[in-house]
Amino acid sequence: MSALSRVRMAYARIEAVDRPEIWIGLRPRTEAENEARAVDARFAAGERLPLAGSLLAVKGNIDVAGLPTTAGCPAYAYTPEADAPAVARLRAAGAVVLGTTNLDQFATGLVGTRSPHGAVRGALDPERISGGSSSGSAVAVALGIVDLALGTDTAGSGRVPAAFNGIVGLKPTRGLVPTTGVVPACASLDCVTVFARTLPEAEQALAYMASPSGRELPPLPQRTPGPWRVAVPPTAQLGELDEGWAEAYEAAVHRLVAAGAEVRPLDLTPFTEAAAMLYEGAFVAERYTAVGSFVDKLTAEGGAGLDPTVAGIITRARDIPAHQLYADQERLASLRTRALAELADADALLLPTAPGHPTLAEVAADPLGANARLGRFTNSTNLFDLAAVAVPAGRTPAGLPFGVMLIGPAFTDERLARIARSLEPETRLAVVGAHLSGQPLNPQLLSLGARLDRTTTTAAVYRLHALATSPPKPGLVHVGAGGSAVEAEVWSLPADGLGRLLAALPRPMTLGSIELADGSSVPGFLCEPGALDGAPDITEYGGWRAYVSRHPNR
């Protein structure tokens, strides 16, 4: 599908989901279309553009040329002349930027509610938070508006929103992706991160954004041959979790074991003790270094546009004594030594990404306490100079998305992604129309990491009708007696991918159970009977592709 078609579909999707709080700077549609036309022309001319047609959203503290960089504070805004390197590299590969996204102001928070542009609600449950600070970026991906989105991660902002919205979040080794053109939160800890609906998409984007870090590659532990070794702490050390969270985590552990991984115990204490230091200790002073003088000035002028919680965190950091920083650095070094010793020869540490998923009301009632709880497992990662990947790991008994992290030493990014693939649950989907191989909507399946399982036919109990839609698609209806077999493809895709397809499914299409010729039943796209009035019955062609080949101009 052309980049131009993808852009047009994205703006239609933006209107359909009606989530204005996602965006700070949404580009005018004509401007995005013009960029897409340029990408299509470059691709047609033979230029290698591996991300051609991919749509990108960028967190509002990362520079996009011509769009204001606000970091979630309108008074802070400036308009950069050039893209940040991470943005420029994705654009050079063919990605089209739709706009800049909402965030916890100055990237200070894990909740996604600390913004004068409004709280970003969860993609799947609008009564719950989306997670921060990269809230708008994560929700734009989860709602199927964009394929990729950039965030930042200092305390977990590239991972907590991924978990809450059922998507992938890659937090690379510090320095692997340049932070030039990024408004700093804590400059020594900040990382540019990427969100995607699938792990392969996120890995591909990271590969284009990354560059030599300028750091000397540290000696990594020698890995003896054998299965992946994953460190897992005792459940009691995870602390208080939301109802069903422990069971979901244990299911993820069992999935790794079933995939052949070897699980070994680990003492989580140095990780959780370091996590508490990020905001309770002297390291938060670096946030004042980043934007403190601006916050002080704006506060003196009345504080218009400042989030009070963010302003309080930053201004309190001004008065931390220097001797506390040295004491905290010494303690952190000791904790890091203990943490790396605990990892020992393990390839990764598996943790829940967050201990629970609060509602908007719960965060409003206790903004500092709720935020501190959310960072229990994520805060220590950058303090210890570790890499991490956050991936979906099913649902809780209450139906909420549940996510886990795999954490490992710096520069083990690729290893962590390989282990994470073992956690991907899959489901099947039967398609009979525009999602078939080579048809206009097939890229939607491919973007979710789907792969073709087999080509078959339905049971002889269906009729197929040509609907007047754009792009053209058929409507499949179950009629029982008087039906016929219809060509179908069965695709395997990540389980959460099916949910994302359903969230974006336009009427009159519905998701139901399709009977196949071998007697099995698979989820698939059906049609509301009321939409068939005036839609010609094309069952005699045996399938959508045969019909399209006979009516190419339809």
Q: In the chain, what percentage of residues exceed pLDDT 90?
A: 77
User: What's the Rg (C-alpha) of the chain?
Assistant: 24
Question: CA angle, 29 as apex, 27 and 33 as ends, to 5°?
Answer: 105
Asked if 402 contacts 245 with a C-beta cutoff of 8 angstroms, the reply is yes
Q: Is 445 helix (H, G, I), strand (E, B) or coil?
A: helix
Long-range contacts of 370-374 (CB under 8 A, 24+ apart): 370/111, 371/109, 371/110, 371/111, 372/279, 374/110, 374/111, 374/131, 374/156, 374/160
Sign of CA dihedral 363, 366, 368, 374: negative
| Mean confidence (pLDDT) of the chain | 93
The CATH architecture annotation of domain 3-213+226-423 reads Alpha-Beta Complex (3.90)
Segment (H or E) for 43: helix 29-44
Which residues participate in catalysis according to the annotation?
59, 133, 157
Task: Give pLDDT, residue 554.
Answer: 63
Which parts of the chain sit beneath pLDDT 70?
Answer: 1, 214, 217-222, 425, 495-496, 503, 553-554
* Partner residues linked to 101 by β-bridges: 23, 59
- Residue owning tokens 């001004």: 318
Topology of domain 426-550, CATH? Hypothetical upf0131 protein ytfp (3.10.490)
Ordered by start, the domain boundaries in the chain are 3-213+226-423, 426-550
Fill in the amino acid letter for 97: V
Q: How far, in Å, CA of 218 to CA of 230, rounded? A: 21
Task: Give pLDDT, residue 506.
Answer: 79
* Partner residues linked to 194 by β-bridges: 150, 170
Fill in the amino acid letter for 66: G
Dihedral of CA atoms 173, 174, 178, 184 in degrees, nearest 10, equals 140
Task: Give pLDDT, residue 57.
Answer: 98
**Per-residue pLDDT tens over the stretch 31-83:** 999 999 999 999 999 999 999 989 999 999 999 999 999 999 999 999 999 99
H helices present in 421-528, as ranges: 442-447, 495-503
